[in-house]
Amino acid sequence: MRSLDRPDTTNNLTVGLIPARWHSTRFEGKPLAPINGVPMIKRVYDRACCCNNIDTVVVLTDDERINEYCIKNEMRCIIIEDDVRSGTDRCAKALELLDGDVFVNIQGDEPLINPDAIDKLIEEHDSGVGVTNAYVYVDDSYKLHDKNVVKVVTKTNDDALYYSRLAIPYQQKDFTPFKQQLGLYVFDRDMLELFPELEVGESEKSEAIEMLRYLENEYDIKMVEVDDEGLSVDTIEDLKRVEDFINAYN
């Protein structure tokens, strides 16, 4: 693991972390994929920098091409060379080089992420729980059966009960609105440090949803509804959908 610069020495920071992997079975090199001429990672970074409640933003990558792009565009970047299981594992590795109390995991494939949604999640983060996750209600029917879109069921206190790539809960009788989990998380430092030490359970292995690791190890996750389009880019088709959304407003 190596860093663009020396480790931070400042305390009491809220740090935005943007994991950006080059290799993806569905869309290799997507962090640098242009969206109307602007690479996706640049769009995510710029939106994160618009947040009022974040002190600094750092891209976390496994690839020199992404690092070089960030350097050229004055975007702070750290290369995590260790082989990790998920974006949150990558964020936890970065703590070896970063001080701060609160860390925000902002997915590098959500180029339309709403800065107000990030700010709200930080404001409603509960240090008594230590982990907070954003969600929106599903308005587009295609998302229900898109396995790239993670759905979440919550408890009566709005903590997460379970995540799945399937449309949950199953509509046996009464209709229940579906909730889409966003790849947007806030962690206290100790809970992020704990994450890679937890056992990877059968549900996480089966669903490939990293937040299940906390639930399977009996930790709570506070869910917060935010205002966001919930448009992530997992495939070339998703990128076209994002471009169409942007063009509709131009």
Q: Is the pLDDT of residue 226 over 60?
A: yes
How open is the CA angle 198-151-85, to the nearest 5 degrees?
Answer: 35
131-150 pLDDT per residue, tens: 999 999 998 888 898 998 99
pLDDT at position 13, please?
86
The enclosing H or E element of 133 equals strand 131-137
pLDDT-above-90 percentage for the chain: 70
- Contact criterion met (CB below 8 Å) for 230 and 180: yes
| CA 76 to centroid of chain Cα atoms | 18
For CA atoms 226, 232, 238, 241, give the dihedral sign.
positive
169-185 pLDDT per residue, tens: 988 888 889 999 999 99
Q: Is the pLDDT of residue 94 over 80?
A: yes
pLDDT at position 189, please?
96
- The rounded distance, in Å, linking the Cα atoms of 161 and 63 is 35
Q: Pick from 119, 142, 126: which is nearest to 230 by CA?
A: 142
What's the 3-state SS for 13-69?
Answer: CEEEEEEECCCCCCCCCHHHCEECCEEHHHHHHHHHHCCCCCCEEEEEECCHHHHHH
Q: Is the pLDDT of residue 245 over 70?
A: yes
Neighbours of 227 (CB within 10 A): 10
Class of domain 2-226: alpha beta
| CA 226 to centroid of chain Cα atoms | 14
pLDDT at position 204, please?
97
50-73 pLDDT per residue, tens: 999 999 999 999 999 999 999 999
- Contact criterion met (CB below 8 Å) for 166 and 151: yes
- Contact criterion met (CB below 8 Å) for 222 and 129: yes
User: Could you tell me the two tokens for 149?
Assistant: 């879109």
Facing residues of 135 across strands? 181, 225
Would you place residue 41 in the very low, low, confident or very high pLDDT band (cuts 50, 70, 90)? Answer: very high
SS3 239: helix
Would you place residue 82 in the very low, low, confident or very high pLDDT band (cuts 50, 70, 90)? Answer: confident
The more confidently predicted of residues 194 and 4 is 194
Least confident of 14-23, 113-122, 213-222: 14-23
Q: Is the pLDDT of residue 2 over 70?
A: no
Query: DSSP secondary-structure letter at 104?
Result: E
The more confidently predicted of residues 82 and 111 is 111
pLDDT at position 8, please?
47
User: Could you tell me the two tokens for 54?
Assistant: 């974040």
pLDDT at position 230, please?
82
For CA atoms 52, 111, 102, 93, give the dihedral sign.
negative
Would you place residue 224 in the very low, low, confident or very high pLDDT band (cuts 50, 70, 90)? Answer: very high
Longest CA span, the chain: 57
Neighbours of 101 (CB within 10 A): 14
- The model's pTM: 0.90
Q: Pick from 202, 224, 227, 233: which is nearest to 215 by CA?
A: 202
Q: Is the pLDDT of residue 7 over 60?
A: no
Q: What is the mean pLDDT of the chain?
A: 90
